[in-house]
Structure 1
């Protein structure tokens, strides 16, 4: 996948979620920027995430992010890689140790544009996060990275209790529950 394929996917991406629809044009325009996949683009840049679920669609794998102090899906910066599926897989494997990851669909599962707070030497900026749906074996041992405080399979019924209000995670959870993409 390269920026042309991503742009085409974004231009054809349809969602019933208003907040997500509002992002599509911004994402498609960003594909034209030569620095879109690099942290050097200080206003904002692409990231990629893996929404990982077990095969029975009862649990999702979340990490308690060390820098942000919130439960999130696994993912990270593109760092120049225009293949965001590769980025999502690499980040998920690095952050979880999972080797059983299976991409359910190469189409975009979800998108979210969110602000990242200022830190020393890094100004406040946007992450244009492209998410893909993955399955993994819930019984495979997890290996937590230094980027996490905790890493756990969370039952769909407990996600809201764990994360509080995070509309993008709740949206992905709802999409998974309603998904036509089954086993």
Structure 2
């Protein structure tokens, strides 16, 4: 609630998403952060840029078969959304020493098959900068992991990833 209440949305669409995420947390105070909430749950993801900010690290998601940013579900040990985003990015990239920018850059709500009837990820998206010369390692959650020029993202990806990369570069 603190992160979303204090975040300044960059446009009207993001403001609507911010208010929707806050309403979700108000309506689901006990479980709105957790995967078990069938109505939807907060997730945290990260666009990882290289030190020069000319490349972005994307994962070929094992289930969705699309190139996406790194991220996933919040866990009880995550003290903050930023901590969840950094943990997920580190786990999925194998890169130690990622530097997470402190504020989210955008929000995204998307359907997911977390429950038999379907569910929603209310994704709070961050940016991290990899250390110079960082080497990545593919995790069990990915079919592949690769650096791509920020101006030439791979297919298949989606407009959310493109928007996240644009906003990341603006930071």
User: TM > 0.5 between the two?
Assistant: yes
Deviation at 1:165, TM superposition (A): 5.5
Aligned residue for 2:111? 115
| 5+ residue gaps, structure 1 | none
CA distance in 2, matches of 1:169, 1:138: 23
Q: Does 1:84 align with 2:81?
A: yes
Matches of residues 159-178 of structure 1 in structure 2 within 5 Å? 159=153, 162-164=154-156, 166-177=158-169
Deviation at 1:172, TM superposition (A): 1.4
1:147 to 134, 141, 144: 141
2:9 to 5, 10, 14: 14
Deviation at 1:83, TM superposition (A): 1.2
Contact 1:37 1:46 in 2 (8 A): yes
Contact 2:47 2:168 in 1 (8 A): no
Q: Provide the aligned C-alpha RMSD in A.
A: 1.9
The number of residues matched between the two structures is 168
CA distance in 1, matches of 2:131, 2:100: 13
Contact 2:25 2:32 in 1 (8 A): yes
Could you say what secondary structure the match of 2:95 adopts? coil
Aligned residue for 1:27? 21
Aligned residue for 2:48? 52
Deviation at 1:138, TM superposition (A): 5.6
CA distance in 1, matches of 2:157, 2:36: 30
2:69 to 62, 73, 96: 73
Contact 1:51 1:134 in 2 (8 A): yes
After the TM superposition, which of the residue ranges 49-58 and 126-135 deviates more from structure 2? 49-58
| 5+ residue gaps, structure 2 | none
Aligned residue for 1:100? 97
